[in-house]
Amino acid sequence: MGHSVGVGDSGHASREDARALGWFLVAAQFALIAAILVAPAGPGLGLGTIGSALGIAAVGVGLALAAWGAVSLGPALTPHPAPRPGAPRVRTGAFAVMSHPIYVGLSAAALGVAALRDGLVTLLLALTLCSLLWAKSGYESRLLRRAHPEG
């Protein structure tokens, strides 16, 4: 993906540092999701009825995509970016369509909530979550390539 999260790239970071980074990303992800859900409504973005309709659609599609991704992973599902030891690389279901359907779905749902709430604070939190998930997906992709060098 061309972006980087420094730990784990050079091989110099310890396995414990890489695990700690993964759990930090998980904690930040869940904290941002919680903040999006409880953020104050104002100031408004002025999206109106169209924003509400788009928000409902984005939340629905996003949650469906994230759920499809979770079901597709089956026993390989973990919130940590490192793959479960011994788990095969999943390339079926949602993963036949895209690399990170759960992250894409969570991003869409978060942006949908921001549109529904019509709030600048919620939008900023949603964009922060999208950025975090983008970074986490890149880190996860590198860890997957290491765990499954055969491709």
Q: Give the separation between CA 127 and CA 67, rounded to whole angstroms.
A: 21
Residue 56 has pLDDT above 90, yes or no: yes
Paired tokens of 34: 């919680």
| pLDDT band at residue 150 using 50, 70 and 90 as cut-offs | confident
Residue 63: per-residue pLDDT: 98
Residue 16: per-residue pLDDT: 85
Q: Give the separation between CA 34 and CA 137, rounded to whole angstroms.
A: 20
Residue 62 gets the label, from left (phi > 0), alpha (psi -120 to 50) or beta, of alpha
User: 64-83: per-residue pLDDT in tens?
Assistant: 999 999 999 999 999 999 99
User: 75-124: per-residue pLDDT in tens?
Assistant: 999 999 999 988 999 999 999 999 999 999 999 999 999 999 998 999 99
Q: Alpha helix (H) ranges present in the chain?
A: 15-38, 48-73, 101-117, 120-147
Residue 32: per-residue pLDDT: 98
Q: Give the separation between CA 63 and CA 149, rounded to whole angstroms.
A: 31
| pLDDT band at residue 42 using 50, 70 and 90 as cut-offs | confident
Residue 2 has pLDDT above 90, yes or no: no
